Structure 1
Amino acid sequence: MDDDLVRDLVPAAISVLCRRGADFASAEDAVQEGLLKALDSWSDSPPGSPLGWLITVSWRQFLDQTKSAGARRARELRVTEEPAPSTPAGQDDSLHLYFLCAHPTLTSSSAVALTLRAVGGLTTKQIADAYLVPEATMAQRISRAKRQLRGNRLDAPGDLATVLRVLYLVFNEGYGGSIDLTAEAIRLTRQLASLTAEPEVHGLLALMLLHDARRVSRTGPDGQLVPLRAQDRTRWDTTRIAEAIDILQSALAVDRLGEYQAQAAIAALHADAQHVAETDWVQIVSWYDELLALTNSPVVQLNRAVAIGEADGPQVGLAALADVDPAVPRHTAAAAYLHEKAGDVAEAAALYTEAADKATNTKERNHLLREAARLRETP
């Protein structure tokens, strides 16, 4: 069965079953059973209305799972009043499905898995491969999430901020296995953007596109991490950058600024510079001021200090960094960079080594160790 067809059918079918009265967990189970029947029945020749077929079979599966004869008769009466559609469900159904996957009772990891399964139409194995965990582990995670949602209807969805956070988490997981999660996050966010004019949704899409535009330059030939200032900008995807900037400008024109729009504006300023020396750090600091006002995030405060060091000099940047909690991730690495810019090579090398010990992944650790070794070899 074509993967793209499955990804279109699954969320539409789940939405219709939820609208007819099924809770999310039961609807998702029934649709997955319906897909298994489709694999046996369709072969290479799907029916004229694949969605209508899947809804009919999945609904029957749901009814078979229902133990109460009275509840079953009531649902059967409702379904006679609503014929199975031959086209995808309406926009409101799709949007509700996004929100239900970001239900407030779920953890972030569970919400991500459910979004990929129900909205993205991915199999448990595909999600497990993308996260580099055993299929059984991912199946347990999804099962726990569905148990938490069992009995919940669409009247208690998560809010838009949670939906966007889930999509951003999917994006930040990067790519691996048989599914490129970065591309999947962009696909899902495009879909959500087509359903709502909310500027933060479009701001998030612009942010993803801008980051993805320089993805090929973020690692070297042997897989080592390449920081933004050292990337080969001729390899950046200028078509994707132009699309992102158009989306961002339209979102900003609404004049309802949010954190994803502000982050995208910072990324756009980086993308606009053909050489690192041309980066407009003064504007970037201004956008960090806006972002800090929106989020009060210590990570934003850290990044702002580095930007100040670029705009006003490393000593000013170090003074700004002194106001940031040292426990914030990458604080030591930022201090190392600013000390290097200030000409304090020995201190910078020591700090890079210390930062490497605190790194949370191998690529980052190796990069920081290389930076320390480079400075120690400097005459």
Structure 2
Amino acid sequence: MLSVGLLVIALGCGSNSPGRLHTRGGAAGDDPQHRLGVHGTSLTLDGKPWWPIGINAYQLGTDWKINAGCGAEVDLERYFGSLPSGSLSRVNVYSAFAVNKHTGQLDFSRLDAIFAAAERHDQLLIGVLTGGDGGCENDYFKNEDWYRSGWRSEVSHGLPMPFEAWLNVAVQRWSSSPALAGWTPVGEPEPSSCTDASCTWQTRLCPPDAALVLRTFFDEVGSRIRSLDRDVLTFSGHTGGSQCGSAADEYQMVAASAGIDVVEYHFYEASDYVPGNPRDGLRRRVEQARAVNKPLLVAEIGVAAGACNTLEDRRREVSSLVTAARTHGAAGVMFWSYVPDPRLDQCTFDIGPDDPLLDMVGTGA
């Protein structure tokens, strides 16, 4: 474990009003580069209704000269330069990417480079602070104990600090970046109990109070984020199906947390359809988001291509899904996922630099 000197937390109180804006600017008196906000069940940009078509790019934090990485290294200038101004990218801002693999010490240079490149190209970022399954970190699943209290003090298997400490560091370090659109505390949270060493999903158990555990987690984490940055938007990271802690009506109970501004749903063609099943499908989730007066972002749309599907056929299929998502009331969509080295000889969700899906990014009105 690294010895980390935490910055002093300035306590404050946040707001969750329907018209909250997340505003970022340069020097005092400058106009902000962009203002991402929520108005009821819609997203806004610069105070106007906005329906973004964005993209996930989880590998941006990889720099093989510095950190352990996750996947291939991405040319940040090429990536951000290929997108229209004001496009929305969802990226992993994990503590694992802030450790120098040669010295074992904190090294923020690659993560700083992501924000700097996004700023140069007038881009927007949703930063995911950790993943529920431990992917791209240490591959250890975050169980119910982690969501109850472990997030505050547990140093998980080789990570540099507890999640609470990383949240403090990350939010304070990048809160002033004009590129920051908001934070997702945990990607695909699921407070299950593990019954074997590898915590395989088939053997996990769901505690009877899992939804309450998850709701309390968002209440506390959202409050902490707003104490550090009172205007920032917080995204739920929800997979959105029947996962432990958010199945059926539990989803709405968790979504009502004052610590969440935008709820999420993740769509993968192999296991889902539109409008989805009446208990946990997209249309039901949109209804629940409306009930708590919050936007629902389809933050991951995964459709396979390569050996199983041509890129053009995938584009047509995804275009239909985007239209359907909008018709059913979603507030925007994001594709899964950009990689610099797409495996076209395999059947994957890879979206490479020349993929026709990129032509759709940023085109939402």
Question: What TM-score do you get using the length of structure 1 for normalisation?
Answer: 0.30
> Where is the strand percentage greater, Structure 1 or Structure 2?
2
Of structures 1 and 2, the larger Rg is shown by 1
